[in-house]
Amino acid sequence: MIRSVVRGNGAALPRRIMKNADFEGMVETSDEWIVQRTGIRQRHVAADDETTASLGEAAARAALDSAGMTPADIDLIILATSTPNNTFPATAVEIQNRLGMHHGFAFDMQAVCSGFVYAVATADLYIRGGLAKRVLVIGSETFSRILDWSDRSTCVLFGDGAGALVLEAEDGAGAITDRGVLAASLRSDGVHKDKLFVDGGPSTTGTVGHLRMEGREVFKHAVGMITDVIEATFGEAGITAEDLDWFVPHQANKRIIDASAKKLGIAEEKVVVTVDLHGNTSAASVPLALSVAVADGRIKKGDLVLLEAMGGGFTWGAVLLRW
Ligand code: UT7
pLDDT band at 20 (very low <50, low <70, confident <90, very high): very high
* 278 counts as catalytic: no
3-class secondary structure, 211: strand
Confidence of residue 178 (pLDDT cuts 50, 70, 90): very high
Contacts of 183 by beta carbon, 8 Å cutoff, 6+ apart? 233, 236, 237, 319, 320
Can you give the pLDDT at residue 309? 98
Task: Give residue 139's pLDDT.
Answer: 99
Q: Where are the domains of the chain?
A: 2-171, 180-322
What is the per-residue pLDDT for 70? 98
| Residue 54, pLDDT score | 99
**Which region holds residue 282: left if phi is over 0, alpha if psi is between -120 and 50, else beta?**
left
Put simply, whether the predicted model's pTM sits higher than 0.95 gets the answer yes
Tens of pLDDT, residues 270-293: 999 999 999 999 999 999 999 999
Task: Name the residue of 20, 81, 117, 153 to mutate for ligand 1: max ligand atoms within 8 A of Cβ.
Answer: 153
Q: What is the CATH number of domain 180-322?
A: 3.40.47.10
Q: Distance from CA of residue 231 to its chain's centroid?
A: 20
Protein residues with CB under 6 Å of any ligand 1 atom: 29, 33, 37-38, 113, 152-153, 156, 215-216, 218-219, 222, 252-253, 256, 280, 310-311
Whether 2-171 and 180-322 share one fold: the answer is yes
CB 20 within 8 A of CB 301: no
Q: Which CATH class is domain 2-171?
A: alpha beta
The mean pLDDT value of the chain amounts to 98
